[in-house]
Amino acid sequence: MNKNTFNGHKVYIFKSKKHIYAQIINNQTNQILTSSSTLSREISTDTKYTRNCKTAALVGKNIAIKLKKLGIQRIVFDRGRNIYHGQIKALADATRKEGIIF
């Protein structure tokens, strides 16, 4: 799938010094449809540490569940300037494990 010709949705990943965020963006309207992060209620109550591979995987699983509720199965994975390693890879793997294709 060519990223330039895809007009659907993308997941954008952002990492701060303490947290990791995932946002679902509609490519046509540039609107954020839903998001998940280590600050989300579903995730922050289950974790003690806010930025490691386990919490990144929880964010990935949570964003995949939200995608399924919106009826979205295929997305573009936009990791920004982050390298595909560690937390970014854990988030992506957890999202794919839930059945989201990218």
pLDDT band with cut points at 50, 70 and 90 for residue 45: confident
The pLDDT assigned to 43 comes to 84
pLDDT in tens, 62-102: 999 999 999 999 999 999 999 999 999 999 999 999 999 99
Q: What is the DSSP string of 47-92?
A: -S-SSSHHHHHHHHHHHHHHHHHHT--B-EEE-TT--SSTHHHHHH
Q: Is 100 left (phi over 0), alpha (psi -120 to 50) or beta?
A: beta
Task: Please tell me the pTM assigned to this model.
Answer: 0.87
Residue type (1 letter), 52: N
The pLDDT assigned to 51 comes to 80
Mean pLDDT value of segment 21-38: 94
Cα gap 56→101, rounded to integer Å:
18
Percent of the chain with pLDDT over 70: 91
The CATH architecture to which 9-97 belongs is 2-Layer Sandwich (3.30)
